[in-house]
Amino acid sequence: MDLELDGNTALCTAASSGLGLASATSFAREGANVAICGRTESNIEAAREQLQAAGDGGVVAVQADITDPDHISAFVEETVDEFGGLDHVVTSAGGPPSGTFEDMADRDWYQAYDLLVMSAVWTLRETRPHLEQSDAGTIVAITSRSVREVIDDLLLSNAVRRAVIGLVKTVSREFAPEIRTNAVLPGAHETARIEELIEDGVDRGEYDDYQAGYEDKGAGVPLGRIGEPRELGDVVAFLSSGRASYVNGVSLPIDGGSMRS
């Protein structure tokens, strides 16, 4: 299926690796221009090479911290200067620290709020005027299955991410019909984040070793395995394309069928 994204421009936050990069790569394969950001220079350069190899569109890859609104503003400005506009936005972020209620100080709550919620607010505020100029404007927020079913030892993800779903659902009404807004809810996908969570589980004594943790993450999945990042990125590109032109305000699990609700 041709997603007809050729020549469009997609901006993906926190996308120098993992699910954000997988989404940008899916856009690039379709011939879109892509813009990504992250904090670590070496990851940004590796991502730039991956994106340039994936397609014929242009690539902007910049160092920006999404917990700083000025960085987001500069990232959006550089993208629009380079490509002359913006058609698609994908918000991703790093993951908040794992832990229980007892583990979290006020500072952790506020940092998670900035990372997960305010980064999306600032990105939408900066990009909305450009998306309204497009005849294909879309937003997809990458969140987590934790917004539907809480995950043990991930209090901050369980609690704070739900605000992103409230944001997405609300702006899917306020920004329409010019802009469609949706969310995707990843289950376990093979990225640095899932490695970090398995290692945390080993440290807490939940798993004997990394392999045991890895197998556990795939065990409850009806499809019998952890997802490939590309399996999320391709859905993000589809939701952003005209092929999904009547899809607005949904929160779509991409979890191999793990979710029971």
Ligand X SMILES: NC(=O)c1ccc[n+]([C@@H]2O[C@H](COP(=O)([O-])OP(=O)(O)OC[C@H]3O[C@@H](n4cnc5c(N)ncnc54)[C@H](OP(=O)(O)O)[C@@H]3O)[C@@H](O)[C@H]2O)c1
Distance CA 241, CA 8 (A): 10
Distance CA 250, CA 261 (A): 15
> What's the number of CA atoms in the CB half-sphere (13 Å) around residue 203?
9
Residues 27 and 261: beta-carbon distance below 8 Å: no
Q: Is 17 in the site for ligand X (CB under 6 A)?
A: yes
> Out of 48, 162, 193, 243, which residue is the one contacting ligand X (CB under 6 A)?
193
* Pick 136 or 143: Cβ nearer ligand X: 143
Count CB neighbours of 127 within 10 A.
24
Please identify the residue of the shown chain whose CB is closest to the bound ligand X. Answer: 18
> Helix, strand, or coil here: 71?
helix
Q: Is 189 in the site for ligand X (CB under 6 A)?
A: yes
Q: Is 34 in the site for ligand X (CB under 6 A)?
A: no
Residues 12 and 36: beta-carbon distance below 8 Å: yes
Structural tokens at position 233? 């990125």
Q: Is 188 in the site for ligand X (CB under 6 A)?
A: yes
Q: Is 192 in the site for ligand X (CB under 6 A)?
A: yes
Q: Is 256 in the site for ligand X (CB under 6 A)?
A: no
* Pick 112 or 136: Cβ nearer ligand X: 112
* Pick 31 or 218: Cβ nearer ligand X: 218
Concatenate the DSSP letters of all residues of 6-70 into one string.
TT-EEEESS-SSHHHHHHHHHHHHTT-EEEEEES-HHHHHHHHHHHHHH-SS-EEEEE--TTSHH
> Out of 9, 79, 158, 191, which residue is the one contacting ligand X (CB under 6 A)?
191
Q: Is 92 in the site for ligand X (CB under 6 A)?
A: yes
> Out of 6, 7, 40, 49, which residue is the one contacting ligand X (CB under 6 A)?
40
> Out of 8, 91, 127, 144, which residue is the one contacting ligand X (CB under 6 A)?
144
Residues that bind ligand X (CB under 6 A): 14, 16-20, 37-40, 43, 65-67, 92-95, 115, 142, 144, 186, 188-189, 191-194
